[in-house]
Amino acid sequence: MTSDILTRVEGRTGIISLNRPAAIHALTTPMCQAMTEALTRWIDDPAVDAVMIDHAEGRGFCAGGDIRMLATSGAADGAEAREFFFVEYRLNHLLFVYPKPVIAFMDGITMGGGVGLSMPSRYRIATENTRFAMPETGIGLFPDVGGGWFLSRLPGRVGQFLALTGARLDGAECHALGLATHYLPAEKLAEAKQRIAAAPQDVDAILSDLSVAPPEARILGNREQIDRLFASDRYEDILAALEADGSDWSAKELKTLSTKSPQTCKVALRQLKEGGQMPDFAAEMRQEYAIGARVVQMHDFIEGVRALIIEKDNAPRWNPDTAEGVTDALLDTIFAPLPEDQAWTPLEIAR
């Protein structure tokens, strides 16, 4: 068991605490394995009626995955990156189908891998500290960990907007969009955890009792522009709509999109379009694993990590560098199912 993950049982509740504060609890393969082992152990444990996921200390719940490792592996044979995705996606799926209530505390930065931990949970707690985003297109990746499932099911075209722009949401916005089930003041989290641990069967009443009315959700004021200008599943159409609109808002979003990888913006749009039709979450994760196994070894991801995370010159040289340059044939290659012996499979849980 890695010390980057702390697990314990308090009262009738299993607790998983992310404990890698120097990296804002960014996930590693051993961390995902440790969480999976704890969750698997508690499924049939009669002493555990619910599970809580939080972070031990520091300013964020979880900033994502170990991006440097993924890029280093992607530049080589990609094996370590594929192992990480395989294990992480099994954890995401396990949380989605988990038979006992899971309560995730999205207090602070909740991005990438942190979204993958919180969104499959039955209860998702936002606070005034929550900063939620899927910023992957900025580094040539795509909104994985189930993003194709969760983002495609948000109201209107908000999911597509978030996937393309990487826009950050606060706790009130998460609650308004249904990404969070409850909005609590951060000062009430300790009480919430204590009460849930003692009486997990009362989790609904406890969270309702401690919830407060969130502030106004700013994104709701932009819904009309988002739904109108991000209406198409064709990236060129979205760029053209923003260009033609001519408003300050559209100019700002166009400028944001100009920094993103055209390849992974197109991947994200297709991912959400197909994700909305997926028969179940396992099918979504199977497709995302195939996409991830390929994208992690492609130029844009390795270049994006170089530009934004390693050298930090913030000047990635995307290839192709235009939306038109990203062909349907290239996307078909990225989305093609993997051979059966390489494909992702959900965890088999002995019952």
| Strand 109-111 to 123-126 pairing | unpaired
The answer to whether position 347 is within a domain reads no
Nearest-angstrom CA–CA distance, 42 and 37:
9
Parallel, antiparallel or unpaired: strands 123-126 and 182-183: parallel
* Active site residue ranges: 65, 113, 136, 144
Q: For residue 92, is it within any domain?
A: yes
Residue 58 has a pLDDT of: 76
Domain residues for the domain of 22 are 5-342
The CATH number covering residue 135 comes to 3.90.226.10
pLDDT for residue 126: 98
Q: How many domains does the chain have?
A: 1
Report yes or no on 351 lying in a domain.
no
28 located within any domain? yes
> 140: part of which helix (H) or strand (E)?
none
pLDDT digits (tens, 9 = 90+) for 124-134: 999 999 999 99
pLDDT at 1: 44
What is the token pair recorded at 82? 């594929």
**pLDDT lower than 70: segments of the chain:** 1-2, 350-351
From residue 256, alpha-carbon distances to 20, 105, 163, 229, 237 in Å are 30, 29, 12, 14, 16
